[in-house]
Amino acid sequence: MLILSRTPTAFLAILSSVFVFACSGAANDNTLPPDKGDVTMVTLVENLDDPWGMDFLPGGDLLVTQKTGRLNRIDGRSWTSAPVSGLPAIAQKAGQGGLLDILVHPDFATTRWVYFSYAIADGDTYTTRVSRGRLEGDSLSDVETLFTAEPFFKTRRHFGSRLLLDNGYLYITVGDRANRDLAQSLTTHNGKVMRLFEDGSIPADNPFVGDETARPEIWTYGHRNPQGMAQHPVNGSIWIAEHGPQGGDEINVLSPGSNYGWPLATYGEEYGGGKIGQGTELEGTVQPITYWVPSIGTGGIAFYSGDEYSRWQPSLLVAGLKLTRISRLELAGDGVGKEYRILDESKLRIRDVQFGPDGRLYALAGGDRLVRLDPVR
């Protein structure tokens, strides 16, 4: 059995180039087939305070972040929860900011490293920061800052903040911070995906290293608010989910140095109506492999290629905040095929999805709980 979540296994390698697949919009929401009868939802933990990110520790315990600045370690057998101490200062519930993603090092048993992203404040301005610390029991130590997005802004939206580790590289998403035009500027971190070494240093082969007009951490640009990131289980490419405006949520495949169009090219429109940019396509920008109109409010994503859920092989699971569901996209070669709805009858906003060591799908739902989707035999 092979289970792939957003934390990739060591044997996967990033391709030196990725193909850009033809873009196909999702079907009208009312025509999408449900996965009714395939799963049943079990609530494991309640009374969480706006949970945002999660990752499993060896042995099955789960780390869950909350936007209030709290990190909890949840026992994977009893589902009891304990707070983790040792976090740095966090701008708690700063609009869409707070304590955001969490990522366990693939060699945690040796390194004890845990990576996390969060909002920080400087007076009345805010930005995204990524740090790591060593976890022993319920306490973090040796906490060090790896990355701070520049510049700070008074706006408290679009922090991005998904993390991914692969073969010694750390990938970080940062939203446009509601300053959309800066997503096209290589002088800021707004609307970008960054690539660092896992210790925070900058790889010499990053696409803009040596360019005095660009930030050397930048891997890709032209993003709005990427809140999902995962690695393809076969070809090793990195996919992100971008939260669009009114419509225009996207799934994109990252290729170093590429421009993904925001806000010059988008399938979304202004809230309340009105064109954004120059249309849906623009020379020099990369098309998404799929997009949603209307928006589903994309959150976290996870690939699946196992045998626990018999009809899901292989799929991409996409958390939906606006349309309160999980979208399951069948994988078709290196692209996507048919889409199905999961949990749409629950009316719960889904923030993050991840497969556990037991092969089951876990989700942060409803702004206050951890749930598991058990297959119905």
Inside any domain, residue 17? no
Would strands 51-56 and 139-148 be described as parallel, antiparallel, or unpaired?
Answer: unpaired
* pLDDT value, residue 36: 61
pTM over 0.85: yes
* pLDDT value, residue 11: 33
Closest C-alpha among 306, 283, 181 to residue 233: 306
- Kindly name the residue from 105, 158, 189, 243 that is annotated as catalytic: 158
Inside any domain, residue 346? yes
Inside any domain, residue 364? yes
Cα-based angle 259, 262, 264 (whole degrees, multiple of 5): 95
Inside any domain, residue 232? yes
Inside any domain, residue 111? no
Inside any domain, residue 130? no
What one-character-per-residue DSSP string does 165-223 give? Answer: EETTEEEEEE--TT-GGGGG-TTS-TTEEEEEETTSPPPTTSTTTT-TTS-TTEEEE--
To the query of whether residue 223 is one of the catalytic residues in this protein, the response is no
Note down pLDDT in tens along the chain; length 377 residues.
333 444 443 333 333 333 333 344 444 455 577 776 689 999 999 999 999 999 999 999 999 999 999 999 999 999 999 999 999 999 998 999 999 999 999 999 999 999 999 999 999 999 999 999 999 999 999 999 999 999 999 999 999 999 999 999 999 999 999 999 999 999 999 999 999 999 999 999 999 999 999 999 999 999 999 999 999 999 999 999 999 999 999 999 999 999 999 999 999 999 999 999 999 999 999 999 999 999 999 999 999 999 899 889 899 999 999 999 999 999 998 899 999 999 988 899 999 999 999 999 999 999 999 999 999 87
* pLDDT value, residue 199: 98
**Alpha carbon distances (Å) from 307 to 74, 293, 314, 329:** 26, 31, 9, 16
CATH (domain of 59): 2.120.10.30
Range of the structural domain that residue 293 is part of: 24-64+161-198+205-375
Would strands 39-45 and 369-375 be described as parallel, antiparallel, or unpaired?
Answer: antiparallel
Helix, strand, or coil (residue 111): helix
Inside any domain, residue 183? yes
Domain count for the chain: 1
The tally of CA atoms less than 13 A away on the side-chain side of residue 355 is: 28
* pLDDT value, residue 2: 36
Cβ–Cβ under 8 Å, residues 114 and 63: yes
Q: What is the 3-state secondary structure (H, E, C) of 25-46?
A: ECCCHHHCCECCCCEEEEEEEC
Inside any domain, residue 143? no
Q: Tell me which H or E stretch contains 365.
A: strand 361-365
Q: Is the dihedral of CA 245, 370, 230, 159 positive or negative?
A: positive
